[in-house]
Chains A and B, each alone.
Chain A
Amino acid sequence: MAAFLGLFRRDLSLALRQGGDTGLVLGFFVLAVILFPFGVGPEPEVLQRIGAGIIWVAALLAALLSLDRLFEADYRDGELDLLTLSNLPLELAVLAKCAAHWVATGLPLALTSPFLALLVDLDPGAIAILFVSLLVGTPALSLIGSVAAALSLGARRQGVVLSLLVLPLYIPPLIFGAGAVEASAVDGGARAYLLILCAISLAALAFCPWASAAALRQALE
């Protein structure tokens, strides 16, 4: 347990100290959402209709940006080899890194979303649902992303390969996350979507550390 918390704290402080990860992710998030009205026109009805989708897609792409750094530095300096040899099971090490990644990227994304939701003219009920959906869905993004990051570790043009891998895997959270906001127009309509989103995150929690660890072991062979 101590090892788990130690790794979590280390990764988190690295991410926050450099400021790079959180800043990059938030910067891209805000920029992407702001650009959309310029592309689709400023009519409030249009923006309201597609706003949730825009914010979710922007969050997804922003999360994607920070993924290649998840294992890269540790892979380079041999820290990853040490992790496989330590008492902490590799699966838990991956979980600790994903948790730190989420606190540094997913959580800020969720927290910023209400302000961006104002820019696309979502009403308060929808904003609340959007916030919850991102809160529940971004852990899945970190976990699923870790699998793709582990698979593409050490690859040439890792960014391209990572994006290509992550695209099919990110679609289910996206569908249910953005869909929850759409459905919130009907009273209690979002509940089913949010529950499924929870299920996706929980399934990712169960499956992804195991898959990422397997991929990491292949990388270190």
Chain B
Amino acid sequence: MINWLANPARFMRLSASAMPWCGWTAVIALTIGLFWSLVAAPPDYQQGDTVRIMYVHVPAAWMALSVYLFVAAASAVALVWRHPLADVAARAAAPIGAAFTFICLATGSLWGRPMWGAWWVWDARLTSVLILFFLYLGYIALVNAFDDPSRGGRAGAVLALVGIVNLPIIKFSVDWWNTLHQPASVLRVGGPTIAISMLVPLLIMALGFGLFFLTLLMLRMRTALNERKAAVLRLNAGAARGPRPERARTVSAHTAIP
């Protein structure tokens, strides 16, 4: 399947029809999800209406992690099998993942303030997600830092894979750090194990976010492929025009002296 999708032209054809379908399904899922989260779902018996933040926070967290796995997987495919679209896919996905991570952190903060009394705590999970956010930013900075885009893509691919190794290390070390240094003094609002009335909107929002990711991924990949094609065309147009004699003389005179 992956090889079958390797042809950029085929990808463009497929995504041309898949994208609107995905997009509209995402809109429907999100609308239903939003209605359910904000209106139909019951307020928590302990947390009241702030529990509704969970319907944004948790799906965003799931997406933040999944998208990173996607970027890492695409990077592996790009490095090992030199799949032409894998690199494009990884670079297109990363900003979406970073956006979800930011949403996760921000909404988590807004949920934590009324519940725990603190905007931020150095809890193992929060710290790990913050570091994940910096991994995303590092990846995006790296792939955009080179004049040669393919160099950026290769460097980013290596980074994404190094990051995958680092994620469990971070999780483990921060876990240890947190439990040995600072016993969790966080007021954990236990709440019941999640009720069906809460699980359903959660899953619908997660579905909506997932479809949103796929739609945006296809959109960004199509954009990248268009931009690549345009760059190639510009190069060909320049070559077709041919070198102008007077300019060539001037150029050599100036480059003779280093």
Contact = CB atoms under 8 A, between A and B. Distances in A.
A touches B (Cβ under 8 A): yes
Interface residues of A, number: 29
Interface stretch (A34-42, A89-97, A107-115, A164-172): A164-172
A215 B158 contact: yes
Given A161-B141, A164-B141, A175 B173 contact: yes
Residue of B135, B137, B162 most packed against chain A (CB within 10 A): B162
A161 B135 CA distance: 11
A221 B137 contact: no
B163 interface: yes
Given A156-B145, A164-B137, A151 B155 contact: yes
A175 B177 contact: yes
A151 B173 contact: no
A33 interface: no
A175 B174 contact: yes
Contacts of B142: 151-152, 155, 161, 164-165
B173 A171 contact: yes
A157 interface: yes
Nearest to B140: A164
Given A175-B177, A218-B158, A164 B151 contact: no
Interface string B143-159: 00111000100110011
A154 B135 CA distance: 20
A214 B159 CA distance: 11
A157 B145 contact: yes
A167 B165 CA distance: 15
A160 interface: yes
A165 B159 contact: yes
A167 B177 CA distance: 17
Contact of B155 (A152, A169, A183): A152
Given A151-B159, A179-B180, 15 more contacts: A151-B155, A151-B158, A152-B142, A154-B151, A158-B145, A164-B134, A164-B137, A168-B135, A172-B173, A175-B173, A175-B176, A211-B158, A214-B158, A218-B158, A219-B151
29 contacts: A154-B151, A156-B145, A156-B146, A157-B145, A164-B137, A164-B141, A165-B141, A165-B159, A167-B131, A168-B131, A168-B134, A168-B138, A168-B170, A169-B162, A169-B166, A171-B131, A171-B173, A171-B174, A172-B169, A172-B170, A175-B176, A176-B173, A179-B177, A179-B181, A183-B180, A211-B162, A218-B154, A219-B151, A221-B151
